[in-house]
A and B are shown apart, each in its own frame.
Chain A
Amino acid sequence: DSGVTQTPKHLITATGQRVTLRCSPRSGDLSVYWYQQSLDQGLQFLIQYYNGEERAKGNILERFSAQQFPDLHSELNLSSLELGDSALYFCASSEGETGTGFYEQYFGPGTRLTVT
């Protein structure tokens, strides 16, 4: 158990809908990262937050957005869903700030999103 929790574990929804994935980082970790894992694209970095502020962006679509709240939990919002958005979405957390060295990222168990 990494200490990172993600809910829900599974989510099935229809095209065009909007969903919210939730992540609670390990106790004490200030950074939260979101990744998407799909069969064709592999594991891809989406976005990072540190202590409530966006710090880095990867291959995140404009239809996707995220935020980190004062209690440090984070939510990833996916809207206007398409079939190709079906994937595993992982949250990871680490203690450190971007650019101050490498900090081990601890991954949660993931949310499996199926868009039908």
Chain B
Amino acid sequence: DAGITQSPRHKVTETGTPVTLRCHQTENHRYMYWYRQDPGHGLRLIHYSYGVKDTDKGEVSDGYSVSRSKTEDFLLTLESATSSQTSVYFCAIRTAPNTEAFFGQGTRLTVV
């Protein structure tokens, strides 16, 4: 498996609290992505990064922010968690747009 670590793997949090998910890679890949997976919706892109401090919005970015201050870490923050953000979150990395994306094991987030 590619060197991708997501933390935490599971989290339960209360509505209105901020939450930060971390994606750490040891592959020195330029591109990093955050997706959420929900039944019936597949994987939806939240934000992605094409370099240090270079990020862009995906399809479902409202309520989420990201930061990438160094190559190996891509942080996803839910500013004020809502129940609609209960989901499984996947991080992915790849070297270039014409290469395979490698996925992390996922983070299961429950907002109560």
Q: Are both chains from one complex?
A: no
User: What residues of chain A have their CB less than 8 Å away from a CB belonging to chain B?
Assistant: none
User: What residues of chain B have their CB less than 8 Å away from a CB belonging to chain A?
Assistant: none
